[in-house]
């Protein structure tokens, strides 16, 4: 994705509580399909992505719940399909815009929202399920799932 400025992020999120911005100097934009990061205390996630409808930047705040893992199991990220061992994912919840918290949709996603880096094999360990898919197809899948989620919650 194209590089964003701090002012772009502040504008697209608007008046949300507890907006903690990431250190943009550390971001390698060419490796990202969307910008996602987690609040230092772990209870919120943030996603900034370009809307396929109008090309404008959208910012969405997600509730983040760590998932208790009592036994060994595999966890699949619903955006990038990376398969983690226990503890690599979190449950993220988006509240439908305008519903005042009455309607929300949750998905299990990489706990650090770094799906873009995982499909480029820039984070270890690699997925526990090997896929022979081109990067472009994986990127397309991430954005399809993300945009569907944001459309269903009326954020696109
Ligand atoms: Zn992921």
Return the beta strands (E) in the chain as ranges.
Answer: 35-38, 44-50, 57-66, 74-76, 83-85, 89-95, 104-110
Note if the bond before 120 is cis, omega within 30 degrees.
no
In a domain, 125, yes or no: yes
Phi, psi of 4, deg, nearest 5:
-110, 150
Query: Distance from the CA of 144 to the center of ligand 1, in angstroms?
Result: 13
Per-residue DSSP letters for 69-109? Answer: --S--EEE-TTT-PEEETTSEEEEEEEPTTSTTS-EEEEEE
State what percent of residues in the chain have pLDDT above 90: 82
Query: Distance from the CA of 114 to the center of ligand 1, in angstroms?
Result: 6
pLDDT (mean) for 17-46? 96
Query: Distance from the CA of 97 to the center of ligand 1, in angstroms?
Result: 23
Query: Distance from the CA of 113 to the center of ligand 1, in angstroms?
Result: 6
In a domain, 44, yes or no: yes
Query: Distance from the CA of 142 to the center of ligand 1, in angstroms?
Result: 8
- From the CB of residue 78, how many other CB atoms can be counted at a distance below 10 Å? 18
pLDDT (mean) for 51-68? 93
Q: Render pLDDT for 64-92 as a digit per residue (tens, 0 to 9).
A: 998 776 676 889 999 999 999 888 999 99
Query: Distance from the CA of 102 to the center of ligand 1, in angstroms?
Result: 26
What 3-state class would DSSP assign to 124? coil
Q: Please give the residue range of the domain that contains residue 52.
A: 6-152
Q: Render pLDDT for 110-151 as a digit per residue (tens, 0 to 9).
A: 999 999 999 999 998 888 888 889 999 999 999 999 999 999
Phi, psi of 76, deg, nearest 5:
-105, 125
Query: Distance from the CA of 127 to the center of ligand 1, in angstroms?
Result: 10
Q: How far is CA 21 from its chain centroid?
A: 14
Query: Distance from the CA of 112 to the center of ligand 1, in angstroms?
Result: 8
pTM: 0.93
In a domain, 107, yes or no: yes
Query: Distance from the CA of 15 to the center of ligand 1, in angstroms?
Result: 27
Count of structural domains within the chain: 1
In a domain, 1, yes or no: no
């Amino acid at each position: 994705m194209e590089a964003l400025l701090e002012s772009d992020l502040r504008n697209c999120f608007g008046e949300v509580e507890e907006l903690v911005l990431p250190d943009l100097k550390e971001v390698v934009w060419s490796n990202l399909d969307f910008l996602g990061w987690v609040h230092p205390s772990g209870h919120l996630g943030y996603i900034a992505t370009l809307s396929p409808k109008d090309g404008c930047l959208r910012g969405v705040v997600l509730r983040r719940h760590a998932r208790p893992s009592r036994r060994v199991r595999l966890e699949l990220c619903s955006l990038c399909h990376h398969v983690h061992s226990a503890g690599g994912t979190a449950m993220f919840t988006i509240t439908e815009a305008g519903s005042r918290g009455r309607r929300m949709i949750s998905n299990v996603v990489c706990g650090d929202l770094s799906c873009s880096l995982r499909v480029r094999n820039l984070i270890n360990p690699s997925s526990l399920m090997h896929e022979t898919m081109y990067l472009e197809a994986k990127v397309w899948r991430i954005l399809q799932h993300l945009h569907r989620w944001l459309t269903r919650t009326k954020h696109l």
